Structure 1
């Protein structure tokens, strides 16, 4: 290969890395975002551990295994139906997510978080929404990425002298980039099979009319009908081609930043107009992973002020605990260029350290800071946490903080026991040939699955009339592909990006559950025993009836085909839950579930309401009746 060929090869390698590589700092932000979403999701779900994840709730394990669960789906949460065991599993998942958040043993934390996420989702599939599918897919690829290379405990305690690269190109970065495109592109592909999206452009109209997802701003926008088809068109175009602007080979930084900002605004719009759980926040965190290295470098250059450049931190060379702490402070305060020096190497500093029994922080004007006040000064220079410095310097906090520091300084050996699990380890970031092959093969499998899902769904619904559908369906039903179908189930790579696709749901309405008590009184079990009220609930009332995305999705599924499998166990839960909280004649004998159907009418037509009886059940006899 001559010099010109080598130069061209280098240019192509750099361009490929620019388009499909990811900055380590962006990967760290991505890690933090995923961890925040997982923790928030666990907190939201933890309020309903008994109702949604135990044998005393809406779906006992026997019912799940016998009637719903795919044989290849697995769940650690199936080891017990007791609320206490489920609580312990939630706490374990939360602690591991915290480890992922701070980047402690990051690879292991990512793998464990993914496994427990799969386990939790498989425990009750009637609760799953598009945001759950997206989180599951992102966490899968996250396991193969160097998420702990920046802003982490792992990076703070990196003992390797080899410098880390700014960016990495690997099979996993390639897969994650195209996975994000698949989320939007396959959603758009499903949508274009419906005339509601194109050419009618009425999808946003129907989405904002669906009261289960209704938000105040979304309903307000219904007063501006001219905006709705425009919004539909923009959403469809963005999902089709928007992510491809990440891969524009010229002015890449400009196009990438414009794409990131556009999709962040799109997800903010979703969050303001629809109640769809953590999906908007997850989308925002996802797009941050594509922030280019040029932007990170510019930010670092801008924040590297003389005050930060002149900062020096001295610690006791004989204190292993002190060494770990100063490395952690430098990393999480985001002051990566701050030198960490041994106090014993400077006689004057060493004398001050002994006199004050404290670390020594020297500012850019050579002033020396000690104890808690030194920590407050370091934090004041942090580009992220600087706002906390004024709180740390508040006299009551300063007094308590100084006493706390003195206690730690006088008991460093005891304090060292808390940091003992934190070890200095070498951290290497490189692209592994074997892992690249594995991730690319898995991504090829994901691609086939997405195409297969599209063909099967459109074929079953008859939403796409094309000559390629039948031949493609025969290929995807071949013995070869069916023989490896178990991989998608085992790893939960069975993806379907059909949010509001092929069309937004139109089977709108609300539930009324009329319970008959032993004393003959009729109450609404869904409204905590209030008087039976058939009126349409306000958004505030609906948020009380369906308090989170899990309950919203569950009640939507009660109206789907799976509802006939869910209703008997939901009925048992209703009876048990009510009667545990009431005694004597106030216990419920039977109930009937009504769905006040308000199917969304096309634009310009009048909405109608129809009362439908969906289910009847006795609380004391084996009497269950669907409608």
Structure 2
């Protein structure tokens, strides 16, 4: 059906997606601040000198390449928070979606060794959403458009939320949906190269990875029969193999799409409840909002609103914050009494009334107002505090004063009725140009993923993508590979220990400050979770320059920053990977082993 790919679509799901995705971006930016010195400065574990020496490719872009100090990295993340807040509020949404993508790409290219699958999803979503309108609903942009119409017409009807749909060219939205589906499809293909998924033992091995499991996952591993784990392994394959077909099946919609989203949601919720894989389930569930039908959102919206009788407003001033309330609500919810809201009477009355004539004042008025919004009930507790109400009122008053609104004139022409919101900003040239550009990017994404589907475990031997396509995919941040516990879950689980010997004979684990032991540091939440990926990369890959930088960091920290005197300085250190091999069903737990990754001396006289 041509309309499915090249028609129009209500943008309400995109706006709802923006709200949740922006919150996730803010969380990521905040979590990066404590890591600014360790992972994003020249005084941490990956200085730019090491990065540029042999680790980076030419087809890349990162503003953070110019950042050397910790305070500069912190400032960069603070800017990211502001940008994400603007996205959350829907302020100049298109501009800040572009800026956000540049920031996300810059952060990821600065240190790819701490990234997991969730980061890749965030980056590629940040790219694709630049091509769709995110601010038509639930945004400052939408309010600004209504205020602009009102300033031209002076008719309050132009200020109200109306029932006309804000639609967009659907092809860019389908590309986002296809990108999400590609994650599942190519993860399935990658899994089919491993025997553990075919014989149903994959989940049994995955739940042995203590570095990736929650305490609930440990409990599930202990009590779950092997046949249940096998069934869940096959369910994972079913979700990944069927998702793309169910959401794009040409008949039986939206039923099949709802089945796919339900299967996927149960899959990701199960992961979130048992494994500490940072943000992956969360970002995938957020991406599902783009698949939602507008009718589903409207139905949920109506269910979340508290049922109250209609309100009637009498506004005393053109600087009243209640003008924002008018712009946020429909005429069916709140009536503006135009009999008193005119040039002569505008400064005489100010009140909120129920439809039965009873006046609504104080906290009751606030409760009545927020009850007309879907998430309004979440504010009820905060509204009990006078300071919170004062802040909102002051902010809204300043905003309305800035708008310089004209006196209302109910006899003026309604401009909203003269505009076809279904055809705004979309023309034939725009459709064709978007189709060509986005189809080209999607072609590159598919080709890039296909290039990895060869029977080899060595990434360096994988059949390369055409160089020009590869460069484009990488430089725009669409590089991706979906080895999600594929072709089989890791069979080795461990952590890095850094035993350091001081000149006075003291030996400690430099990472913890304690004696070396077999207690694995497990991160369940917070910024420290990025260490898990960093440690795994250092063990699996021969990044000698990174290992050298890590060891040199300890020498600098203990001998320069702490200014230890001769005789108590750090002399030598090693980086060990302390690990345990997974065991097959019915076999005993394996003992810990040690792999020496690096040996280092801080002074030449201690060379060995």
For the aligned pair, the TM-score class normalised by the smaller chain equals: 0.7 to 0.9
Q: Which residue of 1 aligns with 2:411?
A: none
Q: Which residue of 2 aligns with 1:101?
A: 88
Distance 2:303 2:344 in 1: 30
Distance 1:546 1:511 in 2: 19
Correspondence list, 1:354-503, <5 A: 354=348, 360-370=351-361, 374-392=365-383, 394=384, 397-398=385-386, 400=387, 429-441=424-436, 442-456=438-452, 458-461=454-457, 481-503=466-488
Q: Which residue of 1 aligns with 2:236?
A: 235
| Secondary structure, counterpart of 1:559 in structure 2 | helix
Paired residues in the alignment total 574
Q: Which residue of 2 aligns with 1:27?
A: 14
Deviation at 1:297?
3.6
Which residue of 148, 151, 155 maps to 2:142?
Answer: 155
Q: Which residue of 1 aligns with 2:102?
A: 115
- Does the C-alpha gap of structure 1 residues 346 and 45 become closer, same or farther in structure 2, counting only changes over 3 Å? closer
**The structure with more helix, counted as a fraction of residues:** 1
Q: Which residue of 1 aligns with 2:188?
A: 188
Q: Which residue of 2 aligns with 1:209?
A: 208
Which range is displaced more, 129-138 or 499-508?
499-508
| Secondary structure, counterpart of 1:221 in structure 2 | helix
Correspondence list, 1:507-526, <5 A: 507-526=492-511
Q: Which residue of 1 aligns with 2:592?
A: 609
Question: Which TM-score applies when normalising by structure 2?
Answer: 0.84
Asked if the contact 2:83–2:100 (Cα under 8 Å) also holds between the matched residues in 1, the reply is yes
Deviations 1:247-270 (A, max 9, x none): 233442333233223212211111
Q: Which residue of 2 aligns with 1:599?
A: 581
After superposition, the CA RMSD in angstroms is: 3.5
- Does the C-alpha gap of structure 1 residues 256 and 387 become closer, same or farther in structure 2, counting only changes over 3 Å? same
Asked if the contact 1:57–1:573 (Cα under 8 Å) also holds between the matched residues in 2, the reply is yes
Q: Which residue of 1 aligns with 2:153?
A: none
Q: Which residue of 1 aligns with 2:413?
A: none
Asked if the contact 2:34–2:527 (Cα under 8 Å) also holds between the matched residues in 1, the reply is no
- Does the C-alpha gap of structure 1 residues 507 and 408 become closer, same or farther in structure 2, counting only changes over 3 Å? closer
- Does the C-alpha gap of structure 1 residues 403 and 189 become closer, same or farther in structure 2, counting only changes over 3 Å? closer
Mark the runs of 5 or more structure 2 residues left unpaired by the alignment. Answer: 150-157, 405-415
Asked if the contact 1:23–1:291 (Cα under 8 Å) also holds between the matched residues in 2, the reply is no
Distance 2:19 2:331 in 1: 18
- Does the C-alpha gap of structure 1 residues 163 and 307 become closer, same or farther in structure 2, counting only changes over 3 Å? closer
Q: Which residue of 2 aligns with 1:466?
A: none
Q: Which residue of 2 aligns with 1:79?
A: 66
Deviations 1:255-299 (A, max 9, x none): 323322321221111111111111111111111221212323433
Distance 1:622 1:326 in 2: 74
Asked if the contact 2:10–2:168 (Cα under 8 Å) also holds between the matched residues in 1, the reply is yes
Distance 1:187 1:104 in 2: 36
- Does the C-alpha gap of structure 1 residues 166 and 255 become closer, same or farther in structure 2, counting only changes over 3 Å? farther
Asked if the contact 1:317–1:343 (Cα under 8 Å) also holds between the matched residues in 2, the reply is no
| Secondary structure, counterpart of 1:378 in structure 2 | helix
Question: Which TM-score applies when normalising by structure 1?
Answer: 0.82
- Does the C-alpha gap of structure 1 residues 142 and 445 become closer, same or farther in structure 2, counting only changes over 3 Å? closer
